[in-house]
């Protein structure tokens, strides 16, 4: 039985998109490590559905919703707008900012 809850206060930029190749995508993701740090990312998770290896869910954590929104704009206007910066991206990403809730 699970009875312990962890209080989590970060805002999360949740991103979903299809990819053509994970290794290529991960290499491009890694090139933006400095941009994530400068943008205020304090935590990150990369996940994928067990039945779809070409679909990713990326969760980037921030101290404020404004930081999350600003980084989302950076991704949209700089990274995803340039095929060279996002070589394995397939289709249009979706994203939303999630706020922390009490369990």
Please give the span between the terminal C-alpha atoms of the chain, in angstroms, as a whole number. Answer: 15
Mean pLDDT of 20-44: 96
Maximum distance among all Cα pairs of the chain, rounded to whole angstroms: 48
Q: What is the CA radius of gyration of the chain?
A: 14
Q: Is residue 3 predicted with pLDDT exceeding 60?
A: no
What local confidence, expressed as pLDDT, does residue 2 receive?
53
- The answer to whether residue 5 scores a pLDDT higher than 70 is no
Q: pTM for this one?
A: 0.89
What would the pLDDT profile of 36-80 be if each residue is shown by its tens digit?
Answer: 999 999 999 999 999 999 999 999 999 999 999 999 999 999 999
DSSP letter for 93, please: E
Is 80:86 a contact under the CB 8 Å cutoff?
yes
Confidence of residue 9 (pLDDT cuts 50, 70, 90): confident
Walk me through the domains of the chain, giving residue ranges and CATH numbers: 11-98 (3.30.70.100)
Q: Report the alpha-carbon angle 20-85-76, nearest 5.
A: 95
Number of other CB atoms surrounding residue 67 within 10 Å: 20
Tell me: pLDDT of 6 over 80. no
């Amino acid at each position: 039985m699970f009875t312990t809850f962890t209080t989590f206060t970060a805002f999360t930029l949740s991103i979903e998109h299809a990819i053509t190749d994970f290794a290529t995508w991960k290499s491009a993701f890694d090139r933006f490590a400095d941009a994530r740090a400068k943008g205020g990312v304090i935590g990150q998770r990369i996940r994928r559905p067990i039945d779809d290896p070409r679909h990713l869910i990326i969760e980037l954590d921030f101290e404020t919703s404004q930081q999350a929104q600003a980084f989302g704009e950076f991704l949209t206007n700089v990274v995803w707008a340039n095929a060279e910066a996002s070589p394995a991206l397939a289709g249009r990403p979706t994203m939303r900012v999630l706020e922390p809730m009490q369990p």
